[in-house]
């Protein structure tokens, strides 16, 4: 855990760390913009070298008097809060971010950007903006965005949700104004290092906002456009790439934003077509510079997973775990990925081991972890299951009591897990069919394991074995059609990735034809229509693809993980309309 108190309040052990850090780094006696940027660059290097407490110790003394120290210090605490999900860390993150906003506010021009938009972006007013005031706007916008994100997590009442939304809007407005300032000063001869730092901040903000907004399905975006938001994916990616290739403090943040997009967002909220070449080339220089940096090792391992190099990824994740002991939450990220690695390989005992660790050590989503653990245990042979000493029925029964709410809403994957676990609520439980593979689909895991024909073939064998067992049952329970359809969807996905496209189409069609008989898992039909659309896209049958995907979008409501499918539909239609080729 990174230390978060003031130096005077810390225990003896922490004070020693504090002093050790300062044997090498003397405390500055004055702090102008140039010195602040240099010192924050040192703190960033410490952070990327796993020296999280030392980075905080370097930033803390000036965190009330320098906008960059305030931003850096509070950003690390916000990251920590997001990782631990502990209420005290969230409170600490919010209060530090409030202080950071006050510090930035002191350096802003009196008639601030948002209060006088028309006034600021005239040539005359831009000329009157000092360097410090330009940086204060960017730092303020960055702090505001992070505080809004934490506000959503902290409390679930609607007022906080609205407050968070307004903060995001203000932040967005400031970035747009700063972008105009940047365009008006492009021709200036007197560009110096601090100007390029300002430019890096603008590219990060404009890039991240445009990229995030471009992912949103039309119905959400129409609502946001009403209050002045709009997103352009290409502009967002372009700004982030330019920011990542620069030498500003924010270059690494632009790089991380692009890495999150390529390695997670495009998989979970997109069609699964990740630009791994770009991810590799972005990460490579940082891997060279910080070979033991746990964040670098984590991304390197994640890229290996997406290439289908699961064995190499497993070794990399172990390196990442061994690289540092201070932020245990980075270990938890590795456990989550290792759990899926072993799931793809159907090494159920190892997958169980990591699901078990998560359910005991991490607070992000207890309901999800316990469900996942029980789902993996369902895949074990009877003897192996006995040796674990676990009771599957009792685990599934715990799921409902563990669900949580964020910004007043249940988490869609938790809601899904709760619904599935209900089959175990009665005194006569009805067992789930291959729940670990169904969950794998929820996280778009078939798009990943599909890179490996050997493992996809093994999954197909498991699915067909279950299909035969289900067909041979004489007494069909009320979930029979749902279970048959779920297996057809998973079987179709395996066949698609193995290149057996006609057979895949048959499986998907069976699900769609059974629509009227599906009782509980109403998500199956819209998701299958979407998958069938992607299958036609793969065969360059563009019109057919659009028709099926549009049907999934327009004809179904109020099913599990509806918003997740709408994100994926938005990405698929976007790629079909821009060009039939896959977009990065």
Q: How many CB atoms lie within 10 A of CB 372?
A: 29
Position 119 scores a pLDDT of 47
Position 159 scores a pLDDT of 66
pLDDT along the chain (584 residues), means of 10: 36 38 51 93 96 96 95 92 81 92 90 49 66 93 86 62 78 90 77 89 93 82 67 92 95 94 92 93 97 96 98 98 95 97 98 97 93 98 95 97 80 93 95 97 96 98 97 93 98 98 98 97 98 97 96 95 92 74 36
Rounded Cα distance between 570 and 565, Å, is 8
Q: Write down the pTM of the prediction.
A: 0.89
Position 129 scores a pLDDT of 80
User: In 3D, which of 577, 574, 578, 505 has the Cα closest to residue 543?
Assistant: 577
Residue 318, both tokens: 């172990």
Rounded Cα distance between 241 and 208, Å, is 11
Contact 229, 579 (CB under 8 A): no
Position 20 scores a pLDDT of 42
Position 21 scores a pLDDT of 41
User: In 3D, which of 416, 436, 409, 334 has the Cα closest to residue 367?
Assistant: 416
Angle at 470 between CA 465 and CA 472, to 5 degrees: 95
For 155-192, where are the alpha helices, taking DSSP H only?
158-185
Position 19 scores a pLDDT of 37
Does residue 405 sit in helix, strand or coil?
strand
Give the chain's end-to-end CA distance (angstroms, integer): 37
User: In 3D, which of 411, 363, 409, 412 has the Cα closest to residue 90?
Assistant: 363
Does residue 406 sit in helix, strand or coil?
strand
Does residue 253 sit in helix, strand or coil?
helix
Residues 6+ apart with CB under 8 A from 11: none
Position 22 scores a pLDDT of 40
- The DSSP code for 410 is E
Contact 56, 3 (CB under 8 A): yes
């Amino acid at each position: 855990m990174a230390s978060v108190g003031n130096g005077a309040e810390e225990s003896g052990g922490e004070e020693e760390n504090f002093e050790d850090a300062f044997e090498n780094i003397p405390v500055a006696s004055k702090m102008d913009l140039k010195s602040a940027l240099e010192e924050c660059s040192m703190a960033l290097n410490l952070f990327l070298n796993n020296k999280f407490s030392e980075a905080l110790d370097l930033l803390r003394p000036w965190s009330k008097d320098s906008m960059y120290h305030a931003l850096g210090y509070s950003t690390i605490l916000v990251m920590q809060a997001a990782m631990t999900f502990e209420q005290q860390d969230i409170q600490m993150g919010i209060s530090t971010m409030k202080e950071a906003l006050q510090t930035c506010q002191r350096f802003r021009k009196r008639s601030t950007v948002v209060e006088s938009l028309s006034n600021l972006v005239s040539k005359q007013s831009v000329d009157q903006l000092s360097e410090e005031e330009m940086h204060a706007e960017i730092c303020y916008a960055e702090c505001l965005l992070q505080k809004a994100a934490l506000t959503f997590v902290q409390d679930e009442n609607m007022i906080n949700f609205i407050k968070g939304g307004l903060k995001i809007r203000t932040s967005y407005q400031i970035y747009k104004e700063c972008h105009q300032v940047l365009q008006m000063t492009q021709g200036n001869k007197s560009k110096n290092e601090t100007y390029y730092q300002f430019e890096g901040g603008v590219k990060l903000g404009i890039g991240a906002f445009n990229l995030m907004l471009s992912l949103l399905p039309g119905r959400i975006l129409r609502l946001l456009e009403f209050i002045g938001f709009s997103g352009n994916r290409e502009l967002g990616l372009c700004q982030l790439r330019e920011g990542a290739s620069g030498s500003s403090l924010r270059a690494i943040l632009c790089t991380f934003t692009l890495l999150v997009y390529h390695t997670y967002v495009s998989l979970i909220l997109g069609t699964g077509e990740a630009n791994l070449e770009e991810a590799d080339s972005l990460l490579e220089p940082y891997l060279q510079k910080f070979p033991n940096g746990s964040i670098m090792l984590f991304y390197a391992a994640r890229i290996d997973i997406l290439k289908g190099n699961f064995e190499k990824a497993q070794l990399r994740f172990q390196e990442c775990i061994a690289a540092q002991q201070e932020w245990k939450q980075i270990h938890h990220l590795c456990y989550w990925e290792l759990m899926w690695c072993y799931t793809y390989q159907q090494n159920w005992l190892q997958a169980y081991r990591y699901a078990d660790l998560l359910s005991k050590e991490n607070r992000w989503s207890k309901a999800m972890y316990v469900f996942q653990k029980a789902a993996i245990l369902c895949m074990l042979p009877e003897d192996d299951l006995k040796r674990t000493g676990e009771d599957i029925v009792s685990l599934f029964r715990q799921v409902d009591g563990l669900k949580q709410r964020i910004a007043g809403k249940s988490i869609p994957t938790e809601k899904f897990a709760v619904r599935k676990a209900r089959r175990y609520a009665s005194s006569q439980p009805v067992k789930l069919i291959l729940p670990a593979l169904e969950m794998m689909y929820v996280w778009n895991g078939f798009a990943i394991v599909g890179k490996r024909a050997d493992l996809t073939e093994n999954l197909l064998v498991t699915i067909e074995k279950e299909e035969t067992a289900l067909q041979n049952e004489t007494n069909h329970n009320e979930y029979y059609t749902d279970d048959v359809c779920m297996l057809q969807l998973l079987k179709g996905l395996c066949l698609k990735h193995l290149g057996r496209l006609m057979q895949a189409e048959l499986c998907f069609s069976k699900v769609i034809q059974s629509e009227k008989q599906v009782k509980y898992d109403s998500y199956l039909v819209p998701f299958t229509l979407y998958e069938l659309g992607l299958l036609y896209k793969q065969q360059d049958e563009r019109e057919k693809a659009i028709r099926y995907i549009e049907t999934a979008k327009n004809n179904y409501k109020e099913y599990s993980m509806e918003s997740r499918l709408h994100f994926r539909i938005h990405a698929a239609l976007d790629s079909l309309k821009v060009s039939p080729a896959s977009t990065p």
